[in-house]
Amino acid sequence: MTFHSKIDPSLVDQMERETAAKLPVMIEMHDQTEAPMTIDRNAEMEDLSRQAEASRKGIIEQLHQLGVPEDTIETFTIVNALAATLTSDQVRAMAHRDDVKFIRYNGQANVAL
């Protein structure tokens, strides 16, 4: 999969329209978390959380190196994804990573009713 195919077409449109803007994105990890089903839901969530943290550690480190502050990154355990506000160059850098599956635009959609 090329890095271009990892970026949602609606995000590419936003990147082309707002070249200097920071855009809200959702980054989906390549490795998805999975915990064995047990009676202990707390243990399952702890296991999922550990897996998700380990799989996105390198991505978060690179985001910090690219100047994205920690307090602007929101993580999601069950879907193993993170949300951040990135420049077009930062989006492209993330798309080059093997551990990133897909990057979506995470802003409001304009829907005609």
Residue 39: CATH number of its domain: 3.30.70.80
37 assigned to some structural domain: yes
54 Cβ partners below 8 Å, 6+ apart?
none
112 assigned to some structural domain: no
Tokens encoding 53 = 């943290």
110 assigned to some structural domain: no
Percent of the chain predicted with pLDDT > 90: 51
Q: Band of the pLDDT at 83, cuts 50, 70, 90?
A: very high
111 assigned to some structural domain: no
113 assigned to some structural domain: no
Please give the full DSSP string across 27-93, using - where no structure is assigned.
EEESSPP-----S-HHHHHHHHHHHHHHHHHHHHHHHHHTT--GGG-EEETTTTEEEEEE-HHHHHH
41 assigned to some structural domain: yes
What global pTM score does this model have?
Answer: 0.81
> Domain tally for the chain?
1
Q: Which domain holds residue 36?
A: 4-105
